[in-house]
Amino acid sequence: MDLDRILAEIVDEIAPHRGEGRVATYIPALARVDPRKFGMAIATRDGAVRGVGEADERFSVQSISKVFTFALALEKVGAKLWERVGREPTGSAFNSIVQLEAEKGVPRNPLINAGAIIVTDHLIEANDADAAIQWVLTVLRDHAEDQSIGIDEEVAASESETGARNRSLAWFLASFGHLDNAVETVLSAYFRHCALALSCRQLARAALFLAFDGEDPVTGERIVAPQRCRRINAVMMTCGHYDNSGEFAFRIGLPGKSGVGGGILAIAPKKGAIAVWSPGLNDAGTSTVGALALERLIEKTGWSAFA
Ligand code: GLU
């Protein structure tokens, strides 16, 4: 299969749609991004990463970081993770607080904000947010094969300054005794991992282990056990795209995760990892043109899980 040709076709096909959707503005530093940007990259088993458009430009991965923190926490604490977070889609917005009270401080899944705050808490030992962030960075840098990957501190600060909703969620979780570390410590790690800046190429390469049973197919290093990898993919398929996860499965049929920075990560099991970036979002928070590009990709490759 000629993936370079396929990517070239996709960039032409989405061209009339560039700029569609609305850039997230609730984090002021994200509002400045050019909505016409588009990049896409595919990493395959041999470690080759093919890219098109602005595939080398770093963007704010936002909630896509939740996939990596989820994977690391699940591998670290195992089934204990499920004591404080569920694995059901919400049918609500990513930052909703309504279900939390009725469901006694147990967020529906690890890929919404409240669930990711619980996950972040599991990554932190002895109230040391810096060490947890360093761990996430090391994993990403090693598997993306780029030691320069880092956090956009301006985005992290912008999010913290405007983070009343995430603070509310975290304090609410704490009121149920569901955070082991101090609320501000957990939030400081949460805001920073959301502000990780990666290019599509780096993101696709770093996530390749999720397509290959939890093992980086290039280095042979295991990041998560195979049965956990299967479950992470299941949660991505059912919960990865806010309140349009069903729509995404319907159109694309791959496990994935959207971020409000306009990125989408999609996993094609046994084939590869795909990252796409286009900042304009639909009403649910998923990249409009990114989803379109992935739809084209699965039509051309037959990589849908339901092909
Ligand atoms: N950092 C963002 C927030 O917590 C993540 C939102 C997202 O990408 O879904 O609001």
Q: What is the pLDDT of residues 121-159, one digit of tens each?
A: 999 999 999 999 999 999 999 999 999 999 999 999 999
Bridging pattern class, strands 150-151 and 39-44:
unpaired
Domain count, the chain: 1
pLDDT of residue 260: 96
> Is residue 291, in this structure, part of any structural domain at all?
yes
Q: How confident is the model at residue 117 (pLDDT cuts 50, 70, 90)?
A: very high
SS3 labels along the chain: CCHHHHHHHHHHHHHHHCCCCECCCCCHHHCCCCCCCCEEEEEECCCCEEEEECCCCCEECHHHHHHHHHHHHHHHHHHHHHHCCCCCCCCCCCCCCHHHHHCCCCCCCCCCHHHHHHHHHHHCCCCCHHHHHHHHHHHHHHHHCCCCCEECHHHHHHHHHCCHHHHHHHHHHHHCCCCCCCHHHHHHHHHHHHCEEECHHHHHHHCHHHHCCCECCCCCCECCCHHHHHHHHHHHHHHCCHHHHHHHHHHCCCCEEECCCCEEEEEECCCEEEEEECCCECCCCCEHHHHHHHHHHHHHHCCCCCC
Encode pLDDT of 15-70 as tens digits.
999 999 999 998 888 899 999 999 999 999 999 999 999 999 999 999 999 999 99
The answer, as to whether pTM is greater than 0.95, is: yes
pLDDT of residue 203: 98
Summarize the confidence of residues 189-202 as an average pLDDT: 98
CA 256 to chain CA mean position, Å: 8
> Is residue 30, in this structure, part of any structural domain at all?
yes
> Is residue 306, in this structure, part of any structural domain at all?
no
Q: Of all atoms in ligand 1, which is nearest to the CA of residue 194? A: 1
H/E element, 257: strand 256-258
Over pLDDT 70: what percentage of the chain?
100
How many angstroms separate the alpha carbon of residue 7 from the centre of ligand 1?
28
Predicted confidence (pLDDT) at residue 90 exceeds the cutoff of 80? yes
For ligand 1, residues with CB inside 6 Å are 62-63, 94-95, 113, 159, 166, 194, 259-260, 285
Q: Is 162 helix (H, G, I), strand (E, B) or coil?
A: coil
Summarize the confidence of residues 87-93 as an average pLDDT: 87
> Is residue 237, in this structure, part of any structural domain at all?
yes
pLDDT of residue 307: 81
In angstroms, the Cα distances linking 105 to 72, 112, 230 are: 22, 13, 26
> Is residue 7, in this structure, part of any structural domain at all?
yes
In terms of residue numbers, what domain contains 170?
Answer: 3-301
Predicted confidence (pLDDT) at residue 233 exceeds the cutoff of 90? yes
Position with higher pLDDT, 102 vs 74: 74
d(CA 15, CA 10): 8
Average pLDDT for the chain: 96
H/E element, 266: strand 263-268
Q: Hey, what amino acid is at 5?
A: R
Least confident range from 77-81, 100-104, 220-224, 258-262: namely 100-104
Q: Of all atoms in ligand 1, which is nearest to the CA of residue 260? A: 8
Predicted confidence (pLDDT) at residue 181 exceeds the cutoff of 90? yes
d(CA 50, CA 31): 28
How many angstroms separate the alpha carbon of residue 217 from the centre of ligand 1?
30
> Is residue 51, in this structure, part of any structural domain at all?
yes
> Is residue 208, in this structure, part of any structural domain at all?
yes
Q: Which two tokens stand for residue 206?
A: 């770093």
> Is residue 15, in this structure, part of any structural domain at all?
yes
Summarize the confidence of residues 59-88 as an average pLDDT: 98
Over pLDDT 90: what percentage of the chain?
93
Return the best residue to mutate from 260, 277, 281 for the ligand 1 pocket (most ligand atoms within 8 A of CB): 260
How many angstroms separate the alpha carbon of residue 179 from the centre of ligand 1?
19
CATH number at residue 284: 3.40.710.10
